[in-house]
Amino acid sequence: MEYSSQLEAKSSELSRTARKLQEANEKLTQISLQKDAFLSQVSHELRTPMTSIRAFSEILRDTDGLLPEDKTHYATIIHDEALRLTRLLDDLLDLSVLESGQVSLNLRDGRLDAVLDRALDSALAGSTRKLLVKRQKSTERIALRSDLDRLGQVFINLIANAQKYCDARHPILTISVHDVGGQVVVDFIDNGSGIPAEAQSMVFEKFARVSSEKAGGAGLGLAICREIMQRLGGNVTYLAGQGGAGFRVSLATNQEMAAE
Ligand code: ADP
């Protein structure tokens, strides 16, 4: 009797182990599929600018008697595509460092209004597109202890997106700061056409693009924002029902703790 109950215990232990092995195996298969999908997306993103660079450099090399203005035009395309490649590689590298958790934070004391000022300057400087930014500066005077450069990077991405996707004729971005349940949140709401409900949950994924005609970047900006905010102990979410697109950045309630 004792022997048979021992056997039963052993057999259920074996089934548990077999189940765990099967689960681990399924997880490995899933990781491998994700890696394949990621690699194929990266190759696709790299191929497009590489193809232009190759084609236009061949024209420059092989065509006799090109007009100077055509030469300049082709060289500009090559230059812009090379810049796009560099940005893509920088973003991929940044994302992989953030995802690996190996990123070291540089905590400093600062103020939210100053971080927003700098982010607006760097997102809008040198841009030919106009953007009317509405702010209520008195609500932004909040002391922070955080990685201010990383937080600024999140703001820059959201401002640059608002500029890209807002109403082209009357481009407006409203930035507002609120206290939501004791947590400071910064809302970025533009007056573009927003993101359709069915796509709102996927825009933070890598290479997410809602509409191909509007595609400007590779779709890594929001994925980077999400990773940074997780590292800073806060988060970034989509705010539905705002008319245009709305993004909410929730700062960590305790920035010092978030960095540990
Ligand atoms: P991208 O470099 O393509 O802008 P992001 O990760 O920053 O990549 O954004 C992913 C996608 O989310 C964009 O391609 C765009 O379709 C959508 N999106 C982001 N911000 C906005 C916005 N303010 N208004 C409308 N769509 C947006």
Do residues 187 and 175 lie in contact, with contact meaning Cβ atoms separated by under 8 Å? yes
Contacts of 92 (CB under 8 A, 6+ apart): 42, 220
Instruction: Give the pairing of strands 246-250 and 183-190.
Output: antiparallel
Distance linking the first and last C-alpha atoms of the chain: 55
Q: pLDDT tens, position by position, for the chain (260 residues)?
A: 578 888 898 999 999 999 999 999 999 998 888 888 888 888 988 998 999 999 999 999 999 999 999 999 999 999 999 999 999 999 999 999 999 988 899 999 999 999 999 999 999 987 888 899 999 999 999 999 999 999 999 999 999 999 999 998 999 999 999 999 889 999 999 999 999 999 998 999 998 888 755 556 788 999 999 999 999 999 999 998 888 899 999 997 554 434 33
- Residue-level pLDDT at 1: 59
* CA–centroid distance, residue 194 to ligand 1 (Å): 9
Query: Does the pTM of the predicted model rise above 0.90?
Result: no
- Residue-level pLDDT at 34: 84
Q: For 242, which DSSP code?
A: B
* Nearest residue (CA) to ligand 1, atom 13: 209
* CA–centroid distance, residue 107 to ligand 1 (Å): 28
Rounded to 10 degrees, the C-alpha dihedral 228/231/236/237 comes to 120
Burial class (CB in 10 A: 0-12, 13-18, 19+), 197: exposed
- Per-residue pLDDT of 2-19, as tens digits, reads 788 888 989 999 999 999
Gap between the Cα atoms of 149 and 153, Å rounded: 6
**Which among 145, 109, 114, 119 has a CA at the least distance from the CA of 234?**
145
Gap between the Cα atoms of 142 and 124, Å rounded: 23
- Residue-level pLDDT at 260: 34
Ligand 1 interacting residues, C-beta cut-off 6 A: 157, 161-162, 165, 190, 192, 194-195, 203, 208-211, 214-223, 245
Local structure of 70: helix, strand or coil = helix
Contacts of 200 (CB under 8 A, 6+ apart): 238, 240
- Residue-level pLDDT at 209: 81
Prediction ipTM score: 0.98
Strand partners of residue 174 = 134, 189
